[in-house]
Structure 1
């Protein structure tokens, strides 16, 4: 194993997030996981723990200042023209193949780089082209993005492209908080001893993920599950069809996680929140436009005029008498002083 990561099996709580991460590890085509929550919620610890469950155990962090060339890799055109071959220098997408690509504060990345990452995560291929010279390589990784919505939002188009979305509870209970700190201190003081004490649970989790990956393609994407999912997506008023596809894949991954031979209702329900949280339209609030008030007593024919009448009617012009047949000029806006 390349580095000692805090074992995912030893993470206290965060059960929804651990499940979402495992499902993305079972089927990377789901499109990655977006984790929302404030700082200090162990988001990177969970992502690193997931790497240990994957074949390569590779964990790659994408820094915020990374250029496009550093991410996708570069082509040496001199070698291509002089020697007739494309010399490719791997980028972060190549290094993450078979492991985890972690992007902290993904909402602060330029949109075109987020698009690029999501393309590679969903297709499993990185394609680099420069001046007519191209190179392709496998890039199958689990994309884990984190964000704190207080520091900026992702555009809806980019949010939709993340397969699953999970929000962490910012206020765990006191007993849970104490246990989180206790285990962290134990790992920092003696990483090898801590890993040894959790080796049985971690190996069981790793074996379960590996078995689910093996079983995955034997589980049919059946019409009954698709029909139910499509009905739910329509009722949730999600835009486009990506939610339907991700939901079906995630439900199949959950069935594989349970070692089931087919997708059941419980699989569809188990991943509903992960799929819909960032795609479901917010209910439109009732209109608060002011209604026309009933006629005031002073508006009735023959009623005496009140002092300061119309003081609250901002923007209204006083009625002007017009001769019969005279041309009505539009009201003029007052000139700026």
Structure 2
């Protein structure tokens, strides 16, 4: 089989019309994964899956240890499997290769064993070895884990995913045997609000919440249809048209990751963010931290080093709107409450 038939074309991220809220949330999370992932809620057929898959094509490749099941980082001990860590400690040579940033789709019917991995108890007892079959969390290490219809997933499984995404580790325990491996990934969930929301306790643990709606403007709808038709007709030619723009955005992401640590946010702005959270009665401190991180990532993406109130305004709705729900039956604020609170605290008319 020749290479051409094997080649899989992905709809380019920079060609996607509208859905700015979602695109911004995704880019900020790949710049700073500590933001904590994105929950995307929107109508059917609004291109949620298309945009997420297009994002991966925008990311630079990563260096991994060859033939390692956990995409181990050859230089960071925190992102290495036990086997690779052992080799590094013993100064054994390791082979390094570059791969595309992993993007793992979690199927709706996945079991906990499929997600976390399984321990072969028989082999462990008879041979005295920790016989472990890695799951999807191992494959997603240093990449993206995408869960479509996350609101239909079992709450316990969502909890497991959020725990791993937050800690960067996955621990599997069976019959007194415990296995731990790195599982640092960006968790992206999507769903249709008509099929129900996540419980507020789980929703709060997603860093950002993007709402996407079906576009109403006829000229934009026509443009989307035309774009899709052109892509399906000749994907290679269509991708070539956006190659330069894709490359520029990729470079901006790489640069933003480098300068992120140098971005400053003044104390009085942090105080005002906390005041907004307090006025909105947001539980815990997650909202304060995520807003600060998202604003810094936005500034880094725009190649600046100082956060302004305008930067905070651009991200605060995405960071707080899903934290206002106290009652599972309550709908998520579209943004008016957060924006009103921001304007009062920041004294903007």
**TM bracket, shorter-chain basis:** 0.7 to 0.9
- The answer as to 2:307 corresponding to 1:263 is yes
- Decide which of 32, 37, 41 is 1:32's aligned counterpart: 37
CA contact (8 A) 2:43 2:213 kept: no
SS in 2 for 1:278: helix
Runs of 4 or more off by more than 4 Å in structure 1? Answer: none
Q: Give the whole-Å Cα distance in 1 for the aligned partners of 2:118 and 2:308.
A: 45
Deviations 1:115-137 (A, max 9, x none): 11111222222222222222222
SS in 1 for 2:323: coil
TM-score, normalised via structure 2 length: 0.76
Q: Give the whole-Å Cα distance in 1 for the aligned partners of 2:205 and 2:44.
A: 24
Deviations 1:21-69 (A, max 9, x none): 1001111111111111111000000000111233333221111100001
CA contact (8 A) 2:200 2:325 kept: no
Pairwise mapping of residues 142-153 of structure 1 onto structure 2 (< 5 A)? 142-153=186-197
- The answer as to 2:162 corresponding to 1:118 is yes
1:3: how far off?
4.1
Q: Give the whole-Å Cα distance in 2 for the aligned partners of 1:264 and 1:85.
A: 55
Q: Give the whole-Å Cα distance in 1 for the aligned partners of 2:155 and 2:13.
A: 31
- The answer as to 2:269 corresponding to 1:190 is no
More helix per residue: 2
Q: Give the whole-Å Cα distance in 1 for the aligned partners of 2:177 and 2:265.
A: 38
Q: Give the whole-Å Cα distance in 2 for the aligned partners of 1:190 and 1:108.
A: 36
Q: Unaligned regions of 5+ residues in structure 1, if any?
A: 284-337
Q: Give the whole-Å Cα distance in 2 for the aligned partners of 1:223 and 1:90.
A: 44
TM-score, normalised via structure 1 length: 0.79
Q: Give the whole-Å Cα distance in 2 for the aligned partners of 1:157 and 1:49.
A: 30
Q: Give the whole-Å Cα distance in 2 for the aligned partners of 1:282 and 1:79.
A: 47
Q: Give the whole-Å Cα distance in 2 for the aligned partners of 1:249 and 1:129.
A: 33
1:84: how far off?
3.4
- For 1:69, the equivalent position in structure 2 comes to 113
- Decide which of 1, 4, 16 is 1:11's aligned counterpart: 16
Deviations 1:279-317 (A, max 9, x none): 12589xxxxxxxxxxxxxxxxxxxxxxxxxxxxxxxxxx
- For 2:262, the equivalent position in structure 1 comes to 218
Q: Give the whole-Å Cα distance in 2 for the aligned partners of 1:157 and 1:163.
A: 13
1:178: how far off?
0.7
* CA RMSD between the two structures: 2.0
Q: How many residues align?
A: 283
Larger radius of gyration: 1
